[in-house]
Structure formats: C-alpha cells, structure tokens
Amino acid sequence: MGGRDATMVLLDENGIRCDGRKIDEPRRIMIKAGGLKNADGSAYIEFGNNKILVGVFGPRDVHPKHMSNTDTGILRVRYHMEPFSVDERKRPAPSRREIEISKVIKEALEPAVMLEKFPRTAVDVFIEVLQADGGTRCAALTAASVALADAGIPMRDMVAAIAAGKVADTIILDVNNEEDQAGQADMPVGYMPSLEKITLLQLDGVLTPEEYKKCVDVGVQGCKVVYELQKKALTDKYFGKGGD
C-alpha cells in the first residue's frame, strides 16, 4: 500500500511524463458551477483523478458570536477529505494537514472576496475531497472560487490554482500524485489573473534560484489556463447550456 515504484520513469527521453503528458500539459480539468441544492453556491471539479465538491454559505450570522468582526465580514474555510478518498482509509476527523490546508486556502481566497461589504457576518466555504490524486489544494482552491462566485458574493477576481514542480531535473506543470511522491519539487500556485496577484504559494523540495523563478512563471501561466475554465463553468451555468 502506497509503495513507490522505484523503476517508474518520471520523464522519458521524448519529454513525456509517467501519465503520458508533455511537460507543460495540465491534466484533464472539468469544472461545473452549482449542483448542490441546500448550499448558497457550489462547484464540482474533476482535476485529473481528483474529485472535489465545494459548498458556500453566506454572508450569514456568525456562530460563535465572538468570532464576528464589526469592521468586516470573515471568511471561514474547511478542507476535508473523505475516508475513502485515498489509498489507505483516512480517519474521518480533520488531520493537522487538513487544518493547515484549510488555512492556506482561506488566506488565498481572502484577497479576492469583498468581505468588508458585510461586517459582522461570515462566509463559509466547505471543501470535500471525494477522491484525491495529488494537487488537491489547487483543485480545491479553484473550485472554491467558482463556488463563491456562484453564491453571488462580490469578488475582486477569482483565484485560479495549479501546481508547478520539478521532476527529472525538469520544470513541469501540474504535478500528479506519482510526481509529487517521487519528484524533486512541488510548488502549488494560486493566482488572480485580472489583478495579477499570487495569493497562494508553497514549495516542497529544492530548486536553484533560476529554477525557482521558472517554476513560479510556469505555475502562473498554468493558472491563466485554469482561469478560463473557471469562467467557462460560470458562463455555462448562467448564460448557456449545462446549468441546472
């Protein structure tokens, strides 16, 4: 279980990766706006083999009350994985990893949401990972932006996210699970394309200063591709086919 295949070729001589992609090619991405009946806004994303549902409530009353702020609304994010979402069953209670990712995603979304318009209220973002396959935080952040927009919450921009990384001494776009486990570096990037602001950036692994710059560049370019898919999901729901 979870054993690594030491013989796996991450990048072959033709520049093709272990899942058949080119170095700058993202996995298949499908985003759907809406879908949940009880949530104020929602989105579903399939990002490679990741399957993630996001539901948004608010702006609404804050419980417990002491968390409310008289100057601004607050954003609360919960990222959670289902026990059956990974190879080995995960205990249902939130882990330290999930709590950290919740915080990182919250702070990536905050610059995008006009919380100051809703003092004393909360906007709650609930992220549920139904199936995980590397890069869940980027997929979750991408879907959360669409769900917030679907809830009609005023936003400055949407945050698009994708990971860049390094495998076999090459900078690649959209790190999958195998590449994350066996690769040299993984860098999730969250970016607001219209405002040109990076709102999420993490790095696991070793990069030279040049590689670091290239990695951020590749990530930001990837976010622009994801951004178009986010806009398409909302357009399909509100102005075209595919809505419910």
Partner 1 sequence: MTSVTVIDLLKKNQILELLEEGKRVDGRAFDEPREIKIEINAIPKANGSARVFLGDTDVLCGVKIQPDRPFPDMGDKGIFMCTAELLPFSHPTVETGPPRDDVIELARVVDRGIRESHMVDVSQLVIEKDKSVVGVFADIVVIDYDGNLFDACSYSATAALLASKTPKWTMVDDTVTLVEGEESQLPTTTIPVSVTMGKIGNHIIVDPNGDEWASMDARVTITSDSDGNICALQKGGSDGFTLEEMHQCGDIAVRVGAKIREIIKESQKGSQ
Residue numbers at the binding site for partner 1 (CB under 8 A): 1, 36-39, 42, 49, 51, 53-57, 60, 63, 78, 80, 82-89, 92, 124, 126, 128, 130-133
Q: Alpha-carbon distance 103 to 83, whole Å?
A: 21
Report the residue number, 43 or 207, with the smaller CB distance to partner 1: 43
Report the residue number, 42 or 142, with the smaller CB distance to partner 1: 42
Task: Work out how close the CB of 142 gets to partner 1 at its nearest, in angstroms, rounded to a whole number.
Answer: 17
Report the residue number, 89 or 213, with the smaller CB distance to partner 1: 89
Task: Name the token pair of 23.
Answer: 């170095």
Task: Work out how close the CB of 86 gets to partner 1 at its nearest, in angstroms, rounded to a whole number.
Answer: 7
Q: Alpha-carbon distance 125 to 216, whole Å?
A: 27
Task: Work out how close the CB of 84 gets to partner 1 at its nearest, in angstroms, rounded to a whole number.
Answer: 3
Q: What is the DSSP string of 77-143?
A: EEEEE-TTSSSSPPPSSPPHHHHHHHHHHHHHHGGGB-GGGSTTEEEEEEEEEEE--S-HHHHHHHH
Report the residue number, 85 or 199, with the smaller CB distance to partner 1: 85
Task: Work out how close the CB of 57 gets to partner 1 at its nearest, in angstroms, rounded to a whole number.
Answer: 6
| Residues contacting 92, CB < 8 A, separation 6+ | 83
Report the residue number, 177 or 184, with the smaller CB distance to partner 1: 177
Task: Work out how close the CB of 177 gets to partner 1 at its nearest, in angstroms, rounded to a whole number.
Answer: 10
Q: Alpha-carbon distance 175 to 169, whole Å?
A: 14
